[in-house]
Every structure is written in C-alpha cells, then in structure tokens.
Structure 1
Amino acid sequence: MSVRLESPAAATREGMATRTSSGWAAVSGVVSAAAFLASAELAAVVTGPGGSPLYAVGSAVIDLAPPVAKDTMVALFGTGDKIALFTLMGVLLAVITAGAGIAELRRPPAGKVVFGLGGVLAMIAVLTRADSSSINGVPTAVGTLVALLLLTTLVRRLSRWRATTRTGWSETSAHTPPLRGPDLERRSFVLVAGIAGVASVVVGTGARAWNATRANVTQLRAALRLPAAATAEEAVPAGASLDVDGLTSYITPNDEFYRIDTALRVPGIDPADWSLRIHGLVDEEVVLTFEDVLALPLVEHTATLSCVSNEVGGTLIGTALWLGYPLRELLARARPQAGADMVLSRSIDGFTAGTPLEVLQDDDTEALLAIGMNGEPLPQEHGFPARLVVPGLFGYVSATKWVTELEVSRFADAEGYWTPRGWDALGPVKLESRIDVPAAGTTVDAGTVAVAGVAWHPHTGVSRVEVQVDGGAWDEAELAESISPDTWVQWVYRWSASSGGHTLRVRATSADGTVQSETELPPAPNGAEGWDEHAVSVR
C-alpha cells in the first residue's frame, strides 16, 4: 500500500531534492573513482607494482600526446612537468567521474557504462606497457569491479534519500524495503560515502607507498660500492670555476641535475636482476649482467648533457663525472653487420632512442654505458643501475636511462620514441651560450658589473664568448678552463655599467669557427637557437 500526502511545499521540496541529489551524485562518482585507484593499488601489492593503472594511464597519455603538448608542459613546468600532468589528470578524472555519478542517478546505467569504459581503457594502458605481463591486468579488473559496486550502492542509497526528501514521509511496498525518512536515509548515504572515501585515501596512499618501495632500490643503491676506474678522469682544473656569485657550477650536483624523461614512475631495478642485451644486426648476441659490468675496466669521463626541449637561456642542461664502459667496446664484441647504421636503445619502461652507430663506434667519442655519476652509483631518477651517456647528442636520441637493450639496426627500419612524434632523428647538440648573472629584470649598482654564464658545444668545444650591450660592439669575455670539449665552459665579462636600462646579449664561437646563430628557433624539431638576452637596470 502506498499513500501520498499533498503539501503546498511539494514543489520546493522537489527542487531541493534535485539540487541536493545532483551534488551528492557527483560525490558518489568521485568517491567511486578513489575506490578504484585504492583497490587497484592494493591489488598491485600482490601482483607487483607494474600493475598500477595510475602510472600506466599517465604513461599512455605521454605516449599519445602530440609533440606540441609535450613542449608546452616542459616550457610551462620544466622538471615539474610530471607533477603538473598528475594534477591535470586528477582534475579531469574528478570532472569525468562526477559527471558519471550524476548520469547514473538520472539515467542508469549510464554512469556504470562510463566507469566500465574507463576500466577497459586503463586495462589497455596497463597491458600495452613494455614491461607488462598478463597478471598486471588484475589490479585494474579489481579496481573496476570495486568502483562499479560502490557506485551502485551509493546511488541506490542516494535515490532512497531523494525519494523521502521529495515526498516528505516514509512509504512502503511489497517489493521494496521501507523508506525510513529523509534524515535516516541521508545518514545512511553519508556514512557509506564517508567511510568509502576515507578508506580509499588511507588504503590507496599506503598501498602506493608500499609499491613505490617494493624493490628496496634505495637500500640496494646505498649498499653498492663501485670499483675504482681503470682510466680516471683528470682533476677539474682550478681555473674551471670563476669566482662570480650566482654563476652555474662547473660540475652539477646530482640533486640539481635536470630530469626530463617519459617515466611517470621511476623504475626500481635490483641490479642483481638487471641485464643488457645487445642484438639485432650483429654477428654475435651479447648479454651482460651488472656483475659483468662491474668486472670491466671502467673509465671516467666528464660530459655535459642537455635536453632538446631546452629553450635559449634554459636550465635543462648539466655536467657530471660519469663512470662506465665504452659502448664502442661492447659493440665490438657483438660485431655489427654491414649496412647497420643505428643502435636502438630500450629502457625497461619502453622508451627508445635511435643513436647513429658511427657515433657510438667513434674512437674519439667517449660514449658510455654509465653506472656512476659524480662519484656514486647513478641516482634512481637518473637511470640506476645503468644508462647511456653520449657527448654531443641531445638526450632524446642517446641518453636512455634504465637501459636494458641495444638493438643494432638501420634508421630506415626503426625509429626512436620521439622521431615519429616530429623530432629529428640525429639530434646533435647545438652551439649555445647563456647569461646567468645578472638575472633578467634585476637592478645592479653602477660601476664594474660581472656579466657571467656558461657556453657549450659538446664534442666540439667553445673557443670564444662575446657580450653585447645595447646593440653595440661585441666585446670578448674571459673564458674559464675546462676538462675537455665535451663540457661547458664558464665565462665572465667585466662591464662598466652606467645608470639606466640596458640590454645584454651573449654569443659563442665554437672550436671549429662556427658562430652562434642569432636566428631564433624553438626547440622543435632539433633544438632551440638564438642569443640569450637579459634586460637589466643600473642605479
């Protein structure tokens, strides 16, 4: 039996019920999404951290994004691009799942269809990762099931709350449980939503933290003792560092070295499980373990690495002392076949880079399979336990981190990760210079002012740096010393500054006589060009 009470406030209650229920339906969708992530992370504790859909979807977004999107993220956020990506993903996920919750309330099962499709897409992202296995799909399946069950439960309770709010009293029927009044139904919904939300945050955060430390890579790295180099690098000359406040240091500390890569989750690799396979167009396939590498006569080499995304005057560049083994020696073991002209290096996370074979075989190029950086094992975010270092080439075609494969191939047959996305295949580093001090937009005192910075053209070297003030003549700056042409060089110009506003420009000349181009070019497709320019005020 059903009874309905008519009331003058029925229309008001109806409007309130609709507005309230829509808001709480959105909450239901967001809480269900949180439950998806938390339960998936919890399942990944059992199946392995590679099954986390959060990082798989993020990596898929990076892979599918057009080059202009990647350039924009790096330009806006620099080395914080991954945090920005996760923030953007979180906002989009909240918006989409909030809409799904509203759709499930108004037109069921529309919301569950959205969640189901999301689960399918996440499953595809997980299973198509380079290091994925079939068991990695289990966390996504578990998360999707939990999200669907929770969404159904929350929307059902919300519907009962809305029904009692609309009618203003309880009703019963032979086919449904009795409605208990608006207050009780509201408490029932809020209690379930609150418990689910809090549990998702606690469980998800804990499971993510556990998965992030599964390999104990921090402890393994700390316990590792690298052997002394058979061929040590010469000491940094005292004249390599100019005494100018604010000038970039000649050697970049590990914690200040730039990081740009496609890995949203830094791979945690136990050196005991790592190996490097050299195969493809070779006469003999070679496989080395980490112990094999440690037993080799290692060499040290100081080299400057830079990202192709670096803008003129940018900071996506650094210099370090690397410890490793020459790649030309490893390739000699494999004996590349005639016609091969490229080595496709692969990271454990699926990233690839195509490097000219002749560069890696060049006796004058200290291209290394590196395991050490500035006197310690590679930091995890910089490729631990092994990466490639190739002076003179941008990182996107050479500096593969967490490297596990070297496939000898041809440029006509294979492409690195960024080449089909619009970037040039060869990627030689361009001649560049940068003003560090005085910083753009600052005010300095009149008199002698140190204008200083760095210049680089790895594997070629810099022979001259000049500074121009207000479009006038170019005056030569003082160059510091350097270990080799593979590193940048510091420079300083003693400027007699007069009061007023001024514009400072810098240009470099390489050891082969090339003068840095004035023409402004963006980073895509093969590196930025132009003169770094700072506007300063003198008081």
Structure 2
Amino acid sequence: MRTRLPWALYGVLATLTGLGLAHVVAALTDADTSPVLAVGAAVIDLTPTPLKEWAIRTFGTADKPILVGSVFAGVVALAAVAGLLARRRLLYGAGLLVALVAVAAVAVATRPEASVLDLGPSLVAAIGAVGALAWLSREQVGAPARGRRGVLIAAGVVGAIALVGGVGGQLVTRLRLRPEDVTLPDPADPAAPLARGLDQQVPGITPFQTDNEDFYRVDTRLDTPVVSSDDWTLTIDGDVDRKVTLTFDELLEMPMIERDITLTCVSNSVGGEYVGAARWLGVRLTDLLDLAGVGDRADQILSTDFDGMTISTPLALATDGRDAMVCVGMNGEPLPREHGFPVRMIVPGLYGFISATKWLTRLTLTTYAEQDAYWTERGWATDAPIKISARIDTPKALAELDPGDVVIGGVAWAQERGGVAKVQVQVDGGGWRDANLGPSGGDDYWRQWFYRWQAPSGSHRISARAVSGDGEPQTAARAEPFPDGASGLHEVIVEIA
C-alpha cells in the first residue's frame, strides 16, 4: 500500500497540473472549452429530461456546481488509477490520461460552433498532465539511488503549477467577466414609474422588483459567457425578403421600449423560485422583423445564441401585439453577463425555454417542420404559455407561529390574461377568501398580495390561488414541469403553538 499511494498521488497531481494549465488557456479564450466544463456540458445534453428535472427539484441552483463537482471527482479518481498504471509502465498511465483528455476534446469538438482553436485547452491539458506524470515517474523510479529529494522537488513544482494554474484561471475569468462600459439610450416609449410595493409592509414577501443579482438564472451553460459588444452582431435570416445584420451600436440607435415583465422558467415547480420581475429595455421584436420582411412560410422564430444554442418561438405569439423585445437593459443597467449581455430576447407570457434566448446572435424565420430547437428535440412543448400561479412566500412551510394575527403573503402572476385580478387564500380546506392586492405593475408583471389570518392553535394547511383579469382561476390539477410547465396550488403546513 505504501508504494502504491505515492503513485496514485502522482496521477492526481499530474492531472491537476494539466487541468490548471488548460483552465488558464480556456479562461483567456472561452471558458466552456475547459475540459471539465466541456464534459459537464456534454453530460447536461445527454441527461434524460426526467433526471434533469429531478436534479433541479432536488438541488435547485446548486445543481450545476454539484454536476461539475461530480465530474471533477470522477476525473480525480481516474487520475489516481492512471498513476497506479504508471507504476507498472509509464505508457499505460499516460494512455489513460490521454484518453480522459480525448473525452473532453470530443465534447468540445461536437459543440455547434466549435472550431479547431477550441481544442487548444484539451491539447494543453494532455501535454501538461503527461509531462508532469513522466517527470514524477522518473524521479520516483530513481529515488532509491538518488534519494527522495528529487521526488519531493518534482511533486512540489507540479503541485505549485496545478495551484497557480487553477487560481490564475479563476483570476483571468473574473477579469473577463467585468461589465463593459455601455451607455444605454433613453427609451422612446418608457414605462410608467413602478409603484411602491408591499416590501416594507409584509415581512418575508418577495420584493416587487427583483434586483439583478437576485434574479434567477437557469440555462444549459456551466460558465458565464463573455461576449464583447464590439464584436457582437445580430443576423435575421431564413424566410425573409432580405437578410439583415446589425451591430450593437446600430441596435442601440433603434427606438427603444421599456417594460416591466415577469419571467418564469418552465422548470419552476409549484411555489418554486425560478421566477423574477424586472424592468427591461430593448427594441420591439416586430421592428426588427420588419427590417427583414417576414415571408409567408415561417411559423417559428429560431433564435440562436453565440455558441449555437437554439430556442424556438411560435411566430404567431411573438407578433400578436404583446411587447416581445430584444433587450439590452435590465433594471436601468446594461444586461448582466449572466443574463445575456449584450443582447437577449424576451416574449412576455411564454416560458423562457421558448422565448428568452440569452447572448442572442441570430433570428431565423423557419418552420417547425424544417428545424427543431434544443428543447423541442428533447420533447418539450412548442407552445408553452406561462400558467396562472400564486406563490406563498410567508409563512414558510413548517413554520412554528404564535396564535392570533398571522400575515400570509406572496406573489402571483397571470401574464397575457389580463394580469392578476384577485388572489384567494384557503385554510384547512375551507372557503376561499379574497386577499389584499398590492399595486399593479401591468398585466405582464407579477402582483404582491397578503391576507390577515386569525390563527388558532394546531396544525394548519394554507393554500393560495390566483384569478386572472380574464376571469380564469388557477387550476388545482397537479402537473410536473415537463413538457409545458407545472400546475397545481401552492400549499404550506404551519404549526400554531
């Protein structure tokens, strides 16, 4: 065991050295080409939908760190095996390390927008790992004759390279993630001032406007893309009269609208956190489509991000008069990088997986018969309006409270259905009672609500439902997020002392 343990450690050190060097190279170019992230992204693409939904329900926003950690743990375990193989013969250990890197290289090469240069980090990882393992092996084999000093020096240098590479890659990534200095134009069609919400009146309620740093993020990427506005262009093509390409400056010169819109992820479970409300600035989608002239065959807009990720939006819904827009601003600031800088798409009333493409670079007018997008290939719905829903923010499930006055509160949304007309609360299966509504931010914006309840002692079940301005009540029928969004009533159980 004593003779095997150092060799396993050498395999791990060598692999970490290769990964550290690769991480620096990837950070200087495209972090998604980093071997671990590339494999993680491939795992996401290959994971069956039910397993993805389970991971989101179980781990929430920690699902991606857990995935990356799992991939990294697997790589470390195999690296230890490579070290043990090198104990028998260096070629065996080096071969396993090369095989590991080859898996990452294939994951990078099969990305939609991959180029030969994207394989650079994988090549660096292979050279660094094999070179480090060869050095450590040579020193270990020669130790009986030359002493342990050479082994210790080699292990220390290799470990330092791995550490510096990992830390250096992170520092470079942070520098690249700094926001650009962009001055946004004033909107030609501004939104009305947003009323003051119930944030201070009802402790525990969700803020009326979601801060940028608190806004949920759900996408298939394991990193935060760095897209320069100087190099960015938007192309409109497909079934159009003329192909149009716009630069970022040209987009900013177009008339801008400003709207308060609530976004919801289709993976949001009943009562879930994947929903947020913000003020968005951008160009009307129809204004952009008019520049190209839409043909008479198209029934979908296939939007593509900078890395080839595609989302399909029903053309009829995107152009039916709602405030569909190509956005450049969020809550008075340029889009944060994690939310799509420099440009993203938003179509009110539709779940994000068919409407909210981030890092947008192309709008292709086509048909569902001709082209499938990422999510439609995986069986998700092509037409997915956001379902009416109310969420209970306070009290929390299983809260222990004193008898008497208890404030129940939360948010509700009913986009493209006349907004939220009322929210009702039910306790222990009794009658539905109207809650008090906070101010309106428009039909496409959520609404805060609260209800004062005189709570008796015991265990109680609290339910809430919303009713739209069109008179449609929230359904009690339970449905999972796949394929077109979750439904059912949010319920919490509380204990009154």
For normalisation by structure 2, the TM-score amounts to 0.95
Q: Does 1:60 align with 2:18?
A: no
Q: Does 1:123 align with 2:81?
A: no
Preserved contact between residue 179 and residue 336 of structure 2 (Cα < 8 Å): no
Preserved contact between residue 261 and residue 278 of structure 2 (Cα < 8 Å): yes
Q: CA deviation at 1:26?
A: 1.3
In structure 2, how many angstroms separate the alpha carbons of the residues matched to 1:452 and 1:119?
52
In structure 2, how many angstroms separate the alpha carbons of the residues matched to 1:244 and 1:46?
47
Q: Does 1:199 align with 2:161?
A: yes
Preserved contact between residue 383 and residue 401 of structure 1 (Cα < 8 Å): yes
Aligned residue in 1 for 2:363: 406
Q: Which shows bigger deviation, 290-299 or 111-120?
A: 111-120
Aligned residue in 2 for 1:37: 19
Out of 399, 405, 428, the residue aligned to residue 470 of structure 1 is: 428
Q: CA deviation at 1:211?
A: 4.5
Preserved contact between residue 37 and residue 68 of structure 2 (Cα < 8 Å): no
Instruction: Supply the RMSD in Å over aligned alpha carbons.
Output: 2.0
Which SS does the other structure have where 2:3 is aligned? helix
In structure 2, how many angstroms separate the alpha carbons of the residues matched to 1:235 and 1:125?
47
Out of 378, 388, 393, the residue aligned to residue 335 of structure 2 is: 378
Out of 232, 251, 263, the residue aligned to residue 305 of structure 1 is: 263
Aligned residue in 2 for 1:188: 150
Preserved contact between residue 179 and residue 337 of structure 2 (Cα < 8 Å): no
Distance 1:309 1:532, change over 3 A: same
Aligned residue in 2 for 1:439: 396
Following superposition of structure 1 onto structure 2, how do residues 444-463 of structure 1 map, counting pairs within 5 Å?
A: 444-460=401-417, 461-463=419-421
Which SS does the other structure have where 1:272 is aligned? coil
Give 2:17's aligned amino acid: A
Out of 317, 324, 345, the residue aligned to residue 359 of structure 1 is: 317
Q: CA deviation at 1:431?
A: 1.2
User: Larger C-alpha radius of gyration, 1 or 2?
Assistant: 1
Preserved contact between residue 49 and residue 212 of structure 1 (Cα < 8 Å): no
Q: Does 1:99 align with 2:81?
A: yes
Out of 260, 266, 288, the residue aligned to residue 218 of structure 2 is: 260
Aligned residue in 2 for 1:9: none
Q: Which shows bigger deviation, 398-407 or 46-55?
A: 46-55
Aligned residue in 2 for 1:342: 300
In structure 1, how many angstroms separate the alpha carbons of the residues matched to 2:393 and 2:125?
49
Give 2:396's aligned amino acid: A
Out of 325, 328, 353, the residue aligned to residue 283 of structure 2 is: 325
Which SS does the other structure have where 1:25 is aligned? helix
In structure 2, how many angstroms separate the alpha carbons of the residues matched to 1:155 and 1:422?
50
Out of 438, 463, 468, the residue aligned to residue 505 of structure 1 is: 463
Out of 347, 366, 375, the residue aligned to residue 418 of structure 1 is: 375
Residues 326-358 of structure 1 deviation map (CA, whole Å, 9 limit, x = unaligned): 101111221221121001111113221100011
Preserved contact between residue 280 and residue 329 of structure 2 (Cα < 8 Å): yes
Residues 159-217 of structure 1 deviation map (CA, whole Å, 9 limit, x = unaligned): 455xx5xxxxxxxxxxxxxx34xxx1x44323312220122111332134225534xx5
Residues 378-410 of structure 1 deviation map (CA, whole Å, 9 limit, x = unaligned): 111111111011111111111111100111111
Give 2:3's aligned amino acid: S
In structure 2, how many angstroms separate the alpha carbons of the residues matched to 1:108 and 1:343?
54
Distance 1:209 1:129, change over 3 A: farther
Which SS does the other structure have where 2:178 is aligned? helix
Preserved contact between residue 130 and residue 348 of structure 1 (Cα < 8 Å): no
Q: Which shows bigger deviation, 472-481 or 451-460?
A: 472-481
Which SS does the other structure have where 1:496 is aligned? strand
Q: Which shows bigger deviation, 70-79 or 300-309?
A: 70-79
Distance 1:47 1:369, change over 3 A: closer
Q: Which shows bigger deviation, 196-205 or 105-114?
A: 105-114
Q: Does 1:133 align with 2:91?
A: no
Preserved contact between residue 103 and residue 111 of structure 1 (Cα < 8 Å): yes
In structure 1, how many angstroms separate the alpha carbons of the residues matched to 2:70 and 2:161?
23
In structure 2, how many angstroms separate the alpha carbons of the residues matched to 1:83 and 1:131?
24
Out of 159, 165, 178, the residue aligned to residue 218 of structure 1 is: 178
Aligned residue in 1 for 2:93: 111
Aligned residue in 1 for 2:492: 534
Aligned residue in 2 for 1:170: none
Structure 1: segments with no counterpart, 5+ residues: 1-18, 165-178
Give the count of matched residue pairs.
496
Aligned residue in 1 for 2:385: 428
In structure 2, how many angstroms separate the alpha carbons of the residues matched to 1:239 and 1:143?
52
Aligned residue in 2 for 1:25: 7
In structure 2, how many angstroms separate the alpha carbons of the residues matched to 1:45 and 1:529?
41
In structure 2, how many angstroms separate the alpha carbons of the residues matched to 1:491 and 1:118?
53
Identical amino acids, percent of aligned pairs = 40
Which SS does the other structure have where 1:73 is aligned? helix
Which SS does the other structure have where 1:406 is aligned? strand
Residues 127-160 of structure 1 deviation map (CA, whole Å, 9 limit, x = unaligned): 3334432122223212202211222332343345
Give 1:366's aligned amino acid: D
Distance 1:42 1:250, change over 3 A: closer
Q: Which shows bigger deviation, 365-374 or 266-275?
A: 266-275
